[in-house]
Amino acid sequence: MAVMGKSKSVLILVVSFIVFSVLDLIDFLLCYVYKLVDFFIEAEWKPCYCSSGKEVITSSGKILVSEQGESKIVCLSSTKVQLEEISDTLYTRPSLVSEVSNLTVTELKRLKVDKTFVQSCEKIKKGGTVRSSFTVNSSIVEMLQGKMGRQLLHPIPRWSDCDCSFCNSWTSSCKETLFVRAEGPKEKVREDVLFIHGFISSSAFWTETLFPNFSSVTKSSYRLFAIDLLGFGRSPKPTDSLYTLREHLDMIERSVIEPHQVKSFHIVAHSLGCILALALAVKYPGYVKSLTLLAPPYFPAPKSEQAAQYMMRRIAPRRVWPLIGFGASMACWYEHISRTICLLICKNHRWWEFLAKLITRDRIRTFLLEGFFCHTHNAAWHTLHNIICGTASKIDTYLDAVRDNQKCKVTIFHGKDDELIPVECSYNVQTKIPRARIKVIEKKDHITIVVGRQKAFARELEEIWRNSSG
């Protein structure tokens, strides 16, 4: 059995190397294809992250500085200096072949091969994929040029995005706020609850599962807020946004906390939403009464590794198996291939939804399709890199702050069969917050941790809120 397992692992590695080497080439070619098509349809091409990093200081005074995996955009043209956090993984994603070459050079160093040869390899690396400790990326600066002046670089929607009324319902409203599904009493509110969905999902993940299963007491005592994050579902999908942590948090504040005068609330978050939940708990330490995290993506990076790059390799290991990991790798490593997938699936989601209903005879959970389809590539691409990867170096600080806030109750749920975010992530969180209670659900994965057990989970949440309030 051990031999068979080892053989299977080797086979997966070999097939993965071949498949992702081909994908590297395809993504390279698609870069030029999209430049031509964008120019032909929109009279300009969309800036991408394939170009090498270089010093760029635009006339509007916007600079991207990057040092040791930490990137910030410095805006000097406004009345104050603003910092927007950008992940280095956006523009530093070495191809699989180059990574193997780097590993080979490292191994040769370890074996003390000819010093001259190693030095020549290092020179090649410095002139190739390996970047200096200070870089300025032109594509990000290009995208920011319209942003600070509130001028869009591209039409809404773009030719490769869906133009249906559902995906673009936000354009008919003058309000630049998130779509919020709110339920509960208008008076005599006990406390509020904020639900934050995960990557390529929507508020329907909560409203179609948990909301109908809460007790009448809960519905009459708590205000329930489920949001579509910026770029997803029915929320705004600006083409000039970089979907940074600051932008996501600002939109949550403007859409829920400020207009509804939220003063005491609980947070329930899934996957990527856990990162936003932790950031909110740090920003509002006296307001947050409990944190319920489902499958939090927390991989502590070794001291010798850049946190963002390490996170990217953990959630997207460039392996063909399991399939959910293969999908994550496609979405994370390949800017133009992932755009093609969005073009084929998201732009034509109405047809895919119709076919799914026809084949399954309406048995499929249509709300999962809604969350999966209704986003733009720009939103998914930047949120994945700037939130999941880009905040990797800050998670430790957030967890330490939550640990020191003894008033905030922390509960973690994780599906034992989760192949995307392994159970070890929840235990990693517990090492930082010892009082956190972990509940591992047998035979459940990244999605079925909620879907399929919504009644039981609704009761568990109600108990958490009661105990936290008490």
Q: How many CA atoms lie within 13 A of 83 on its CB side?
A: 7
C-alpha to C-alpha distance for 441 and 274, rounded to whole angstroms: 18
Active site (annotated) includes residue 197:
yes
Give the total residue count for the chain.
470
- Choose the catalytic residue: 418, 426, 445, 468: 418
Active site (annotated) includes residue 271:
yes
C-alpha to C-alpha distance for 359 and 356, rounded to whole angstroms: 5
Handedness of CA 349, 354, 356, 357 (dihedral sign): positive
Q: Is 66 helix (H, G, I), strand (E, B) or coil?
A: strand
Q: How far apart are the first and last CA of the chain?
A: 53
User: DSSP secondary-structure letter at 302?
Assistant: P
Burial class (CB in 10 A: 0-12, 13-18, 19+), 462: middle
243: left (phi over 0), alpha (psi -120 to 50) or beta: left
| Residue type present at position 291 | L
Consecutive H or E run containing 304: none
Radius of gyration of the chain (CA): 23
State phi, psi for 246 to the nearest 5 degrees: -60, -45
Contact 346, 380 (CB under 8 A): no
- Choose the catalytic residue: 16, 161, 197, 248: 197
Structure tokens at 242: 């970089």
Structure tokens at 271: 């996957």
Contact 268, 195 (CB under 8 A): yes
Neighbours of 325 (CB within 10 A): 18
Contact 421, 295 (CB under 8 A): yes
- Choose the catalytic residue: 248, 385, 414, 446: 446
- Choose the catalytic residue: 66, 71, 201, 271: 271
DSSP per residue, 220-274: HHEEEEEEPPTTBTTS---TT----HHHHHHHHIIIIITTTT--SEEEEEETHHH
Active site residue ranges: 197, 271, 418, 446
